[in-house]
A and B are shown apart, each in its own frame.
Chain A
Amino acid sequence: MSVLNNSRGDTARDTTRDAARGASRTPGPRKNFSAWANRHRKWLFAAPAMIFVGVLIVFPLAWTIYLSLTDSQGSVRAASEFVGLENYLTVLSDVERFWPAVGRTLTFTGVALVCEVVLGMGIALLLWRPFRGEKWVRVAILLPLVATPVAVGMMWRLIFDPNIGFVNQLLGMIGIPPQPWLSGQDTALGTTIFMDIWQWTPMVVLILLAGLTSLSEEPDEAARMDGANAFQRFFFITLPLMMPTVIVAILLRGIDALKTFDILYATKGKGGGSFHEVETLNVYAYGLSFDYNQYGLSSAVLILFFMIIIITMWLLTMRKKAVSK
């Protein structure tokens, strides 16, 4: 057996064949089953999980596509008619709810991501070299990350409350008049973005820190010898080397940010508030489905939303490939 030059998969297959051969020498139902199981372990291991996910995804996804082509509403069980692409036309020409929701989704994701990556990089750099009390800082970083988003939403509701909230109290001390925060039509989205930044910057920190610690010290050392200052070393050495990790962080955070639901629904409730101030695509689609039972329309929104997510991911993956080269 030429194990040395083989790729992983081949090695495994060769040994399987040996095992099967060994089993066939001493026949018996149990041995036969074990030989069969070993030979097919690739699919035996992978299939249950894939079938589980497949059934729970493929079927609903197909159903959603079907629903998006019908005028289903009220109850999914009620008779519905096939209307072709009408729902898509309705949605795409809807400048009151759909397009603003797209705008809010992209604003929310874009602003939150930029802030989280910049802040996250800063904090990761602060934590990069060991220091005393590092343990406690790491604990502090972990706490927002694991906190239940709905509870976090409630917490911020109290802190940002216009009358009794601590934020306005603090601002009052330095003479700034109270702001409406979550209850303001213009300030609500920004406030929820702030909450997202508070909760998820730690995630970016952890990813970037893992990237930083896996960097080799030599390029940085060499630049130091050549007299480069800290800023030069960061922008010309560390950052380019970190780009693949930065894009992974953006990818992982971006997917979740686009789909943010919990804190928005917990702080502003149905429809993203009375003026739909924080109604992103996910909140809009949820409302259409479960608060207004407009299944046909909501399915069309969801398919379009899903396409936005896929395109964003695809662009980022392309970018990552370009950077990794």
Chain B
Amino acid sequence: MSPQPVPQVRVVTLKIDGRDVGATEDETILEVARQNGIFIPTLCYLDGLPSIGACRICLCEIKGANKLLPACVTRVQEGMEVTTDSERLTRYRKTIVEMLFAERNHVCAVCVSNGHCELQSMAQKLGITHVHMPYRYPKLTVDATHARFVQDDNRCVLCTRCVRVCDEVEGAHTWDIMGRGIDARVITDLNQAWGDSSSCTGCGKCVHVCPTGALTEKGRSTAEMVKKQQFLQYLMQMREAKQ
């Protein structure tokens, strides 16, 4: 008996930061880079969630392309030459992270996620020592109406991980975005208090995928509020395996 034909996915080779790497054509630059131990900073990206290319921190230079492209959604191509780190990219990444710090009230000293925050560790990794644009200090609210969780708009970076995990993985679609531009913010249901939400299952997935202290568990101390994101890859693997 002849063997079953496998689905046709082409294998390609490309260069990332001068290193020759192999990949399949359905993989993204970020996936291939991570498999090869090449670090590309990311914020809105989370393994297991659909990528949206929104935070613009994983932008890379690609030879021949006139624009910078986000590594999380750009597919690899044969012969591609990718630069993941350069003076220019670092400058842009720093400015973007500074923009996030200036956008809302990220006061690490009084944040329960201090020490376990992806925004904070990103700033440390990029060597940001100060923010050189004016802080905006918007007046934002904290929603503590839920029995077990707290939502703090002051710490939100609008990565929409909560929106995506709730919609795509939990299937509840409790979270969404309201407003436009600088006034955009995440809301539960139709901008009701989280505690009154009829769609929220209380699963807590949103809290654990949140990169900052915008979504936290009630009654936790700073040392305790560690986000556990491993569940997501496990869940997605199990779902795929069942298919």
Note whether A and B form a binding pair.
no
* A residues in contact (CB < 8 Å) with B: none
* B residues in contact (CB < 8 Å) with A: none
